Chains A and B, each alone.
Chain A
Amino acid sequence: MLIVTRRKFLKLTTGSLATGLATQLISFEDIANAAISRPLAANTPILVVVTLYGGNDGLNTVIPFTDSTYFSARPGMTYPISQMLPIDAELALNPAMSGMKTLWDQNKVAIVRGVGYPNPDRSHFSSMAKWQTGSPNNNLSTGWIGRWIDTQKEDPMLAISLGSVLPPLFAGAKRSGSALPIGGLVIPKGVTGAQLQKISTPSAKDSKLMAASATSMRNLFSVSTDVQPVLKAPAPLAPDLPTINGGNAGGDNNLAQQLDVVAKLIAADSPTKVWSVSLGGFDTHANEANAQAALLGVVSSSIYRFMSQLKSTTRSNDVTVLIYSEFGRRVAANGSDGTDHGTSGPMFVIGNSVKGGFYGDQPSLKSLINGDLAVTTDFRDVYASLLEGVLKSPVEPSLGNWSGRVNFLKTA
């Protein structure tokens, strides 16, 4: 089982080879033109999917701070209670998540507890493939958003992933989402810039790959003058993240920068309904406490900043953010004050249209399954709710006849 999905995942990550679809790399110019010629209609809901690669430790994210079992299971990698951010009588957010705490206090954060799928798979690749395909059992080669894309009118702007590699999440059978390299914001200037533009001008004599090479360079310089001012403001630099020992299972390291671009493009009326961003580094097999606090601090402050940026636009009520990772981690620390691959973890759903609070049961630390947390909510319940509630689409093409739902959205 493990391998079947892993293989599929690999097929997906090699994209065009497997699905017969080329990854569309779009430029800011493409988005700019689309934003001007066919802006997203007012009040259209937008979904922003945040993938945390590496397996985020849910227990050190939403911390059962009154449970002595928690402290005894991982003595070297907890935080002082005084620094934790309690959000009810039993659970506290990681000390680094002050931005998230503020949003929670504003009732904009739904925390779905114990999310996973049956027969958890502890491989990064195959577990992430299950989450992204939305299919724990079947051997699917498309993502749950990709299958939604298949049901929509063809539009390269419909679903955009930040970064140059398209996640399997966005691979459909008929078409896929697009990838937007964020490096495109930093354009070589001066004489060098001018010469590079010349060296990438189109030529009828170019071979196929030379033309592709020239185009990739040219796209750097082709930002539309109309939308350039929106994008021009300097993007924040990615903070230095800790180097984490262990299998790197993908993801980028500049979540703040990615979300900054997404916020600007949402403000510019890009006709995009689903965005994908990611942060890597959650594979905390050793010395977890500091590393994870740094990472969760980035998640929390980036999301807080993103939600704040939306306030100055007309879209702040339209955007819903989903945060997930491929698995949680074992309850007991390993010998290196880190944790090994585990099972369920919390999902976050954030936005003005979200009913803040807890959903799903908190997995008990007293009744573990082979040392791991139980799964109390199936991720398909969450996906189905987002498909219906945010994307206003039937669940069936993406998830088949899936009946579970989580009612974290306000009813309009």
Chain B
Amino acid sequence: MEAKRVETARLFHRFGFGPKPGEYAAALKAGIPATRKKVLTLSQTPNSSVVSDPQISDLGKRPAANSPQIIDFAVARRRQIQDMQLWWLDLMVLSPNSLVEKMSWFWHGHWATSIEKVEYALPMYLQNKTLREYCLTDFTKLAKAMINDGALQVWLDGQDSTVKAPNENLARELMELFTLGVNRYTEQDVKEMARVLTGYQVERTTGQVKINPSRQDKNPVTIFGSTMTLSSESLTELLVKRKDCQQFIPERIWYRFISSSEKMPANFAAIKAFSSRDISQAVSATVNSPVMANPKYEMVKSPVEWFVAACRALEVVPSQLQTSDKLINHLDKLGQVPFSPPNVGGWPAGEGWLSSASALYRVAFANWLVPQSQLSVIRETSISDRTRKSADWLGVPEWSARTKAVLDENSADPEQFTLMALCSPDYIVSR
């Protein structure tokens, strides 16, 4: 397998959501350095010029059950959630800034917060804007914005944490899952930190956050052996400054972008690059790292990554598919719906997506999706060229002999051909 094709495919599938028709072949011509640069260069085109922002408003408190207003409320709530999901999926497909979408997606899985508990779309939408704004900037700023995020506070019961009854939920996850990694702190640190994080109150319907001083514990705490008085923000800063944070965030980048099964090497370039806590430096170091060409580091496309990549190649727009309910249902069957991670640990990776059940649901999903595309790329290619050219179309480094044989057998039938390609191990796995 040609190393250049592998690395180019990875640049598209891991730091974006796969190539649009023609992009992969053009990138091969342009060469690896140019493709890396292209992946890392942000377009100035505003997102709203390709996908209009969803109308997400404050729905106010849920009306009483059986009241005349409850149906309108429930309909509006569901509509807002779906609009928001489709808005993001559309952006993943259409945005000129794939890296921003991919990094927002990465951080959504990192600070995993679910609409299932938050209930209202507005706080989730505001959280997404925050993730989007800081996704490639200073991690300290991102972490501070997140500790003040209404949806995250609700999700981890921050708003119920008071000086009388500190709740350790947010404190523990802030260290374990968000900044330091597991076992890089003590139980004492968790308890003390919970005291610092008291006093938050959140207006559920809007996600607006305030700190109520009468509910807040302002006494000094002893964290990592030092006694001091901290605010939630100075606490966050203290965590992000720790050496363990410099190790942990590159670990997460490694796990989500390079390999979920192989161990991160001690000299992984992103670690050094993250010394300034600049996320873009860490991402850039990863993109430019030799690990990108190492055949050992394969990944499985998560359901959203697989679906969005298919949409880009098939030139279809998620919100225009028949129907939106069916789309969300397919994603749900596969276990990955935006704004609805299964728990605060985020979605699984790797072989977690390769059960027999997901194989089955993936086929059903592709069966529904493929007929909704004109499949113009395939139809415009002569039958005898279809197998060969489809590798470039989909951004696959090389079809295996087995897949090649099946594609050849189906080359006269564009729909069946595409179905087989999308469900092949060669496409499901990013090699």
Contacts and interface: CB of A to CB of B under 8 A. Distances in A.
A and B part of one assembly: yes
Interface of A: 1-4, 6-7, 10-11, 13-14, 22, 25, 27, 76, 123, 125, 163-164, 179, 181-184, 186-188, 191-192, 195-196, 198-201, 203, 205-217, 219-220, 245-248, 250, 286-287, 335-338
B343 interface: yes
Given A205-B400, A336-B64, A199 B355 contact: no
B429 A210 contact: yes
A277 B419 CA distance: 32
B168 interface: yes
B190 interface: yes
Interface string B112-137: 00101101000000000000000000
A57 to B, nearest CB: 15
A123 B356 CA distance: 31
B361 interface: yes
Contact of B360 (A183, A206, A207): A183
17 contacts: A6-B172, A7-B176, A10-B345, A13-B345, A123-B169, A164-B335, A181-B356, A184-B357, A192-B367, A198-B409, A199-B425, A207-B295, A212-B351, A213-B354, A213-B429, A214-B425, A338-B65
A199 B420 contact: yes
B403 interface: yes
A34 to B, nearest CB: 17
A344 to B, nearest CB: 21
Contacts of B190: 3
Given A2-B169, A183-B360, A195-B410, 13 more contacts: A6-B172, A7-B182, A25-B356, A184-B357, A188-B360, A200-B425, A208-B298, A209-B425, A245-B74, A247-B114, A336-B65, A337-B66, A338-B65
Nearest to B300: A209
A196 B423 contact: yes
Contacts of A338: 65
Interface residues of B, number: 63
Given A10-B344, A195-B410, A200-B425, A164 B402 contact: no
A3 B403 contact: no
A7 B400 contact: no
B424 A216 contact: no
Given A14-B348, A199-B402, A200-B425, A217 B116 contact: no
A27 B406 contact: no
B356 A219 contact: yes
B356 A2 contact: no
Interface in B255-308: 261, 295, 298-300
Interface string B175-211: 0100000100001001000000000000000000000
A240 B123 CA distance: 29
A123 B423 CA distance: 39
B412 interface: no
A334 to B, nearest CB: 10
A162 to B, nearest CB: 10
A13 B420 contact: no
A184 B361 CA distance: 10
A179 B355 contact: yes
A7 B298 contact: no
A10 B117 contact: no
